[in-house]
Amino acid sequence: MFKNQTPQQLSFYVAAVSAVLMALLALFCKLTHILVISWESIGLLVLGVFTIAFLANFYLVRYYIFRRIKLIYKIIHRHKLPSDFKAGKIDMGKNILDEVEQEVDAWAEQNERDIEELERLATYRRRFIGDVSHELKTPIFNIQGFIHTLLDGAIHDPAVNMQYLQRAAKNVDRLQAIVEDLETINKLEAGQMILDLREFDIHDLSDEVYADLEMRARERNIRLTYKEGAHQHFRVRADKESIRQVLINLVHNSIKYGKEGGITKISFYDVESYILVEVSDNGIGIEPEHLKHVFDRFYRADKHRSREAGGTGLGLSIVKHIIEAHKQTINVRSTLGQGSTFGFTLEKA
């Protein structure tokens, strides 16, 4: 009966019980002639006890609840109280304790989510710092070795001096590429990269990317083509140079991890107000446990082959950030030994 009652209802029940007890006591006194009291006086006495008990309980409960709940709100809202509490008001007709309990539960759940997110970010930060250190250490170590060898006398040996300088320069270029890619990701994450949205033909842009990478594909005897029926031209609205970077990265990866004599295909699909662009190959594929990590910074499914083929390990992470900056989605599906397909959407012009 008294479960989930409002303070106002609780005060009424307490006052009613007090009045009934007083009525019984007065009736007992009248019947036993302990006191000479009229029925009108008994009625007034009972009414007075009810009124006093109700008001006393009402204000005591109100004071108690207000002080305790104000403290709770200060804790869970970090000293930012609701306007009613700032004004010293409290609605005694509401089930205040249940409302506070719900707010505390919500606060606890939110805190738990925040803690989990902070732990995840801390783990990610530690892993990222370790990955950056590892990626930078290799070219720095190589440069250091070549330069010290030259300083120790190899600079005067025409058989090796130019070769070592070229190798050192190659590692410097790798360092520069890593730093530039990190800077690009930082700008994308911070929202500092302004997208130049314009309309263009995605098929024509794909032709340009194929032309840029044709020589690299020829070195591995990989054919660059379109999926059958994908010769239709679609106009999209996006940042053309950013999408060029996305296509170059995806096509370059398909060449790098494709099999000798293989094929790279680009496909287009009309999906209502979007165009789905897919880049697929028939290469080595990606193991299922690696699929969810392919867009992570410095993540390499095949570390040995990735380093041999070059690259900073940041390309797919940049691709993901560019597509998300366009408020679009990117996904990957792959079968080990059969190839991979990367697909992303763009807004139709």
pLDDT at residue number 261: 85
Please report, for the domain that includes residue 167, its CATH number.
1.10.287.130
Above 60 in pLDDT, residue 328? yes
d(CA 165, CA 172): 10
Choose from 21-25, 38-42, 200-204 the range with maximum mean pLDDT: 200-204
Same domain, 42 and 154: no
Instruction: Tell me what the mean pLDDT of segment 233-251 comes to.
Output: 92
Same domain, 211 and 332: yes
pLDDT at residue number 66: 62
Query: Of 46-55, 248-257, 326-335, which range is least confident?
Result: 46-55
Average model confidence (pLDDT) for the chain? 79
Please report, for the domain that includes residue 276, its CATH number.
3.30.565.10
d(CA 344, CA 279): 9
Above 50 in pLDDT, residue 305? no
Tell me: the pLDDT tens digits for 135-176? 778 788 888 888 988 888 888 888 888 888 988 898 888 888
> How long, in residues, is the chain?
349
Same domain, 43 and 163: no
Same domain, 268 and 164: no
d(CA 47, CA 155): 110
User: Domain boundary residue among 69, 94, 119?
Assistant: 94
| Residue 23 included in any domain | yes
Same domain, 232 and 338: yes
Same domain, 181 and 213: no
297 versus 326: the higher-pLDDT residue is 326
Same domain, 334 and 255: yes
Same domain, 292 and 256: yes
| Residue 203 included in any domain | yes
Q: How far is CA 100 from CA 4, 7, 69, 105, 106, in A?
A: 12, 13, 7, 8, 10
Exposed, middle or buried: residue 201 (CB in 10 Å: 0-12, 13-18, 19+)? Answer: middle
Cα angle 266, 272, 275 (rounded to 5 degrees) comes to 25
Above 50 in pLDDT, residue 79? no
User: Domain boundary residue among 190, 211, 240?
Assistant: 190
Above 70 in pLDDT, residue 83? no
Same domain, 144 and 225: no
| Residue 56 included in any domain | yes
Same domain, 236 and 325: yes
- Total H helices, total E strands in the chain: 10, 7
| Residue 2 included in any domain | no
Above 80 in pLDDT, residue 190? no
Same domain, 213 and 176: no
Residue type, 268: F
When divided into structural domains, the chain yields a total of 3
> Element (H or E) spanning 338, and its range?
none
Exposed, middle or buried: residue 34 (CB in 10 Å: 0-12, 13-18, 19+)? Answer: exposed
Same domain, 264 and 143: no
pLDDT at residue number 87: 46
pLDDT at residue number 276: 93
| Residue 159 included in any domain | yes
| Residue 260 included in any domain | yes
DSSP string, 253-315: HHHHSSPTT-EEEEEEEEETTEEEEEEEE-SS---HHHHTTTTSTT--SSHHHHHHH---S-H
Domain region containing 328: 197-348
pLDDT at residue number 86: 47
Query: Of 4-13, 186-195, 266-275, which range is least confident?
Result: 4-13
Please provide residue 104's backbone torsions phi and psi, each rounded to the nearest 5 degrees: -65, -40
Tell me: the pLDDT tens digits for 88-108? 455 555 555 566 667 777 777
User: Domain boundary residue among 166, 190, 214?
Assistant: 190
| Residue 143 included in any domain | yes
| Residue 319 included in any domain | yes
- The number of angstroms, rounded, from the C-alpha of 125 to the middle of its chain's C-alpha atoms is 14
